[in-house]
Amino acid sequence: MKTPVLKPLAVALIAVLAAPAFAAAASQLPAPEKIVLKNGLTVYYLRNSDLPVVSFRMFVRGAGTAFAPAGEEGVAGLTAALMTKGTAKMDAEAIAEALDFMGASFSVSAADEYAQVSGDSLTQHFPRLMEIAAGCLTGPSFKDEEFAKERARQVDSLKSLKDNPGAAVRSYFRKAYFDGHPLGRVASEPSLAKITLQAVREFYARRFRPDRAIAAVVGDIERERLVELLEATLGPWANPAGAAASEAIPPLPRPKGKTLVLIDKPDATQAYFVMGAPGYAMGDKVTPQATVMNTLWGGRFTSWLNTELRIKRGLTYGASSLFWTWAPGGVFQASSYTKNDKIVEALDLTFGLLAKGGREGFSAEEVESGRNYIQGQFPPTLETNASKAGAYVRLAFYRVGFDYYDKYLAAIAKVSPAEVKAAAAALLPQNDYVLVVVGRAADVLPQLKKYGTWQEKKITDAGF
């Protein structure tokens, strides 16, 4: 492949970041119809009968990884996974069999700030899909045997992840950057070992409730049929009597000074790095300027970073940057990988470009190109039923309005070179950052010490 394909997580993020439009006339995202079920659950709905398929999406606020109690990192992911492993009426096998039989997909997963529920099927199977989804959401059985199996499977998946340094470095970075903060609650072998089934049950009971959920349905289904179906399936989901657990996330840490964490992987023939620094919150007014700046600095194929590391020097297959955004704040992140003996060259180039961005800014032509690119690449991010449904729940979750993308694209169209330079000066880190490298310490550590106060870990150590 010419370029690595973006991982789903990054794609979701880009959909948020890359929000403006070329032809200002048509709305990027058709306004959905709001349906409120008798139990208060809000469902946004849009009909699309082009193909016989329907997508369902739901966010449950306060049920993400950030809400795991300290020491029980991973409880959100474990709870989410176990929700499809048995209900009052169906055991895990029956659920899997029913979903596979329809060729449908259904999952519950834990993002940072929310749990995400996704279901996609052919129109003819959608009623059955929603019956199963409602069973999983409202009455998971959380059996001992399933808990033991799933926890063991997740522990082993984490060990296996460490055989792939490009994937493992992201978890190490998250832990190092957010050490102690809820956004750093990364599941590890030791933390999973401490979680009890009772902890899973409590996490579910306190955090999965209709007054915390936002849902959307997009596809080939009539409104009346949908309302009837939703009332019959999700309608009986009642709010528990007690108050819901907190869904607040404290302000993000702001690293001071230069921190380097090296993870020794003695058999690695490439060194993988991720460096990060404070960014901005979802919906922040700097979003358009910062998005154009990031696009030009490290967000696309011809970005400065990819041009210097890959296109001009052939040091790597991929070099990129992005902004992660959450309600309480965000992070700027740059990453790449190269042969062990080239890591200093790659990092020096990266730091040189970070300094250059704020110092020199970008040319008028570059900024025009960045604006065009963001606008031109936007429509496909909302092309499918699933992506529209995902956008409805995301925009509702962040309370930014369904015209968010139209406003965003209109703002992108007006971003000036001076604004981009200001965004670079404010957001590209110089002296305060966290740098994480996975590589062969014997080769790379002596060269890396100049990048910060360092600590060393072994890839074989438990946890991240």
Partner 1 sequence: MRKRIALALLVLAACAASLPAAFRKEDVKVHQLANGLKVLLVEDHNIPNIALYTFFRVGSRNERTGLTGVSHFCEHMMFNGTAKVGPGEFDRRMEFLGGSNNAYTADDMTVYTDWFPAAALEAMIEMEADRMQGLAFVPGVLESERGVVASERRMSVENNNDGILNESVRATAIMAHPYHWDVIGWMSDILSWRRDEIVAYYRTYYAPNNAILVVVGDFEPAKALELILKHYGPVKASPPPPPITTTEPPQMGPKTVLVRKAAQAPSYMAVWHAPNAKDSDFLPLSILAKPLLDGESSRLYRRLVREEQLAIHVGGGVQETIDPFLFSIYVKPRPGADLDKIDRVIEGELGKIKAEGITPREFEKAMNGVRSDFYMGLQTISGKANQLGAYELLYGDFAKLFTIMDDYAAVKIERVKEVAAKIFTENNKTVGTLVPEGGAK
Q: Contacts with partner 1 in 391-430 (CB under 8 A)?
A: none
Region of 115-123, 234-242, 279-287, 391-399 interacting with partner 1 (CB under 8 A): 115-123
122 touches partner 1 (CB under 8 A): yes
Q: Which of 144, 224, 267, 431 binds partner 1 (CB under 8 A)?
A: 267
Q: How far is CA 143 from CA 282, 327, 448, in A?
A: 38, 34, 48
Q: Which of 30, 139, 166, 236 binds partner 1 (CB under 8 A)?
A: 166
269 touches partner 1 (CB under 8 A): yes
291 touches partner 1 (CB under 8 A): no
CB 59 within 8 A of CB 394: yes
CB atoms < 10 A from the CB of 299, how many? 24
**Of 426, 419, 297, the residue nearest 350 (C-alpha):** 297
The first and second tokens of residue 50, run together, are 């082009």
Least separation in angstroms between CB 263 and partner 1: 13
The first and second tokens of residue 242, run together, are 């007690």
Least separation in angstroms between CB 266 and partner 1: 7
Separation of alpha carbons 329 and 326, rounded Å: 5
Separation of alpha carbons 154 and 194, rounded Å: 13
Nearer to partner 1, 248 or 462 (CB): 462
Least separation in angstroms between CB 317 and partner 1: 4
> x/- string (CB under 8 A) for partner 1, residues 203-242?
----------------------------------------
Classify each residue of 91-109 as buried b or exposed e, where b means 16 or more C-beta atoms within 10 Å of its C-beta.
Answer: ebeebeebbeebebebbbb
Separation of alpha carbons 174 and 27, rounded Å: 36
Helices 287-294, 364-376: axis angle to 10 degrees equals 100
Q: Which of 45, 204, 208, 337 binds partner 1 (CB under 8 A)?
A: 337
Q: Which of 24, 40, 100, 456 binds partner 1 (CB under 8 A)?
A: 100
Separation of alpha carbons 208 and 88, rounded Å: 17
Q: Which of 8, 23, 144, 242 binds partner 1 (CB under 8 A)?
A: 23
124 touches partner 1 (CB under 8 A): yes
Region of 203-211, 237-245, 334-342, 413-421 interacting with partner 1 (CB under 8 A): 334-342
Region of 70-78, 196-204, 226-234, 298-306 interacting with partner 1 (CB under 8 A): 298-306
384 touches partner 1 (CB under 8 A): yes
Give how far the C-alpha of residue 146 lies from the chain's centroid of Cα atoms, to the nearest Å: 27
Region of 70-78, 164-172, 208-216, 228-236 interacting with partner 1 (CB under 8 A): 164-172
Separation of alpha carbons 148 and 141, rounded Å: 14
> x/- string (CB under 8 A) for partner 1, residues 300-319?
xxx----x--xxxxxxxx--
Q: Which of 128, 143, 181, 407 binds partner 1 (CB under 8 A)?
A: 128
Q: Which of 385, 408, 412, 421 binds partner 1 (CB under 8 A)?
A: 385
CB 389 within 8 A of CB 420: no
3-state DSSP call for residue 47?
strand
Separation of alpha carbons 431 and 452, rounded Å: 9
Torsions phi, psi for 256 (to 5 deg): -110, 135
Q: Using the Cα atoms of residue 357, residue 361, residue 367 and residue 371 in order, give the sign of their dihedral.
A: positive
Q: How many residues bind partner 1 (CB under 8 A)?
A: 76
Q: Which of 30, 52, 253, 463 binds partner 1 (CB under 8 A)?
A: 52
Least separation in angstroms between CB 292 and partner 1: 12
266 touches partner 1 (CB under 8 A): yes
Separation of alpha carbons 46 and 413, rounded Å: 28
144 touches partner 1 (CB under 8 A): no
8 touches partner 1 (CB under 8 A): no
Using only C-alpha atoms, the chain has a radius of gyration, in whole angstroms, of: 23
143 touches partner 1 (CB under 8 A): no
159 touches partner 1 (CB under 8 A): yes
Q: What helix, strand, coil percent values describe the chain, rounded to 5?
A: 45, 20, 35
149 touches partner 1 (CB under 8 A): yes
Least separation in angstroms between CB 297 and partner 1: 14
101 touches partner 1 (CB under 8 A): yes
Separation of alpha carbons 290 and 322, rounded Å: 10
Q: Which of 42, 141, 369, 430 binds partner 1 (CB under 8 A)?
A: 369
Nearer to partner 1, 25 or 241 (CB): 25
> x/- string (CB under 8 A) for partner 1, residues 79-98?
-------------xx--xx-
Instruction: Please report the DSSP string for 394-449 in residue order.
Output: HHHHTT--TTHHHHHHHHHHT--HHHHHHHHHHHS-SS-EEEEEEE-HHHHHHHHG
